[in-house]
Structure 1
Amino acid sequence: MYSSGVWDSNLNALLAQVQDELLSRDGRITRIAPLRSVGERLYLQVCLRCAERPEFCLPLALPARAIQDGDVGSLASQILWAAEHGFRVTVVEPLESSRSFRVTA
């Protein structure tokens, strides 16, 4: 899933547990995709799909402390909070020409 010298080898197992928790708690979340670690943060994408929309990925950074604690429930809650707020942002078409968005709630 992810490999980096900075993060310990249990990271993939932890993220797999977090992903399982997310999938069981929110049907819009399809997967999480770790990207990289920078300093004291792990950057990842939370991929969401709503029935009438194509999948989109929301960028997210988690603090290293949250990862080190290994609390699956807390990590899932942080990601769900971000996904809920990110899901409220709707891209206005066409993105290329307008670079616009609106917050729906």
Structure 2
Amino acid sequence: MSESIWSEQGDQEILAVELNIYKFCEEQKLDLFEFYEEGLGKVVATHIYEEKGFPVVFTKYLDAPFSCVNVAIDASCNNVKEWEDRIINKYFKNCQIYFKLSES
């Protein structure tokens, strides 16, 4: 079993955005991982560590009918709105945002 980057509380999806994840990874110099998830099909994902080693994961389900990039952070995070704003301002200024956890 591989070690998780998440705390015991797991992760929470905070954003869904329209994004070319391949171009994003190239521009940010991030590794892109491709794998198959049972019931969901082909998936591509990458991650970064923001301040103090805080993980942020970007996932795209390529076989989904509406395939946007889901952004997840650790579920122990209490300041979701602050993280949404930080990530949007840093990476997604010109992207369509379809979902914000803080607004649901």
Q: Is this a same-fold pair by TM over 0.5?
A: no
RCO comparison, higher one (Cα < 8 Å, 6+): 2
Larger Rg: 1
Q: TM-score range by the shorter chain?
A: 0.3 to 0.5
- Normalised to the residue count of structure 2, the TM-score between the two structures is 0.35
- Normalised to the residue count of structure 1, the TM-score between the two structures is 0.35
